[in-house]
A and B are shown apart, each in its own frame.
Chain A
């Protein structure tokens, strides 16, 4: 994984602190549902926060393919380029 991706994952991890109730270490492989016990509505609410931080739009159509923090970071990275 590139340095930029690592930086993005680290920023996303920081933003996830409110949802990380068990205080687990967040990596690219962390699964929103299985590891963080976050339901789909809470994930969509988290997306709102990420959109405004990076001034991007993330259509929720793209979230059906997202399970892990790493997959989400890829969606964010693509939206920043677009």
Chain B
């Protein structure tokens, strides 16, 4: 008997997946030259799977903010938010994020994963019910498990499926929290948040929207899909990450609930982990300002998204959703997808390999994320490389 015996099937599947050369889950870039170019050895790779939607990781003002914070506050915080890990920038970012959303409270977390863990497992407990979209991220599933609440799953992006499940629970008096995402990370499909708002209002449930992949790219101010659907104020809790459009590391949650700040002393994933470094927080503050000041970034992002979507379609791929900053191609089965992933990397393009059970509907995908910083030439190069993949058996 060995503790690792249970992982034998995983070991075999992983070995089969990596037999073709590269390891899709272990790529290391030796250098990053820009938001869209990385180096493996001395080979330039076009980055098309890094969720760097607005391409701000090398922005001059963002880098300068990080450097200044390093000089002023040192490297790490060496503590949790409730001990010595709250610095001025954490407080300032929370105030700015709340103002940005026009809401009364914002909390900053160390990662997006911990934001979900804190909000969901902080708000819901034994005796409560959480209703989650089937395609919600692993962090939401983990958070629900941790909460001890009853977890009821509804069909993906289907307000009527949620409606039926809430109806079955109307007679009980538990608190009900509905959780959806704005933009889903695997297929790149968008949630009808306005329709979910109508359903949750009718059943007197709370709604949490995770805008991890949609913050920065959707809505007039870039606040996400809830803003884009015109129902920002009706979402009870909005969660997001700093590690995508905001070019840092961390997560946030905003709400107008008068007691929302109680999570600071109730949410264990907020209380018992080290806080984000001041440099990462200052990066996020700088990026947040840029997102407000430069709506042209969103325009570039969407032009690139449409260009890539149309390009991949034109070379014969079945795509999982309408154009969005996430463009996912269906490769049929895991081994074919892994082979294609290797060909792409050898050709100079990095995308994400996504296979079951990590994908909805057992799909095997090559998942691209588009950046505002991609040039038209880079998008066309990505499409040309995919065209080679389309020729594979």
Contact = CB atoms under 8 A, between A and B. Distances in A.
B357 A40 contact: yes
Contacts of A59: 150-152
A55 B362 CA distance: 26
A57 B152 contact: yes
Contacts of A36: none
Interface in B351-393: 356-357, 360-362
Contacts of B152: 57-60
Contact of B357 (A41, A58, A61): A41
15 contacts: A39-B362, A40-B357, A41-B357, A41-B362, A42-B362, A44-B153, A45-B361, A48-B153, A48-B154, A48-B155, A48-B161, A55-B168, A56-B168, A57-B165, A58-B152
A45 B134 contact: yes
Contacts, number: 40
A51 interface: yes
A39 B357 CA distance: 7
Given A41-B357, A48-B134, A57-B169, 10 more contacts: A39-B357, A41-B362, A42-B362, A45-B361, A47-B153, A48-B153, A51-B165, A57-B165, A60-B151, A60-B152
A41 B362 CA distance: 8
A52 interface: yes
Interface of B: 134, 145, 150-155, 161, 164-165, 168-169, 356-357, 360-362
A52 B362 contact: no
A63 to B, nearest CB: 10
Contacts of B134: 44-45, 48
Contacts of A41: 356-357, 360, 362
A51 B356 CA distance: 23
B217 to A, nearest CB: 27
A40 B356 CA distance: 10
Nearest 7 pairs of A and B residues by beta carbon: A39-B357, A59-B150, A60-B151, A41-B357, A57-B168, A57-B152, A48-B155
A47 B134 CA distance: 11
Nearest to A59: B150
A45 B161 CA distance: 12
Nearest to A44: B153
Question: Which among A39, A44, A45, A52 has the highest number of chain B CB atoms within 10 Å?
Answer: A45
A55 B154 CA distance: 13
Contacts of B356: 39, 41
Nearest to A60: B151
Contacts of A42: 357, 362
Nearest to A79: B168
Nearest to B168: A57
A37 to B, nearest CB: 11
Contacts of A56: 168
A14 B348 CA distance: 48
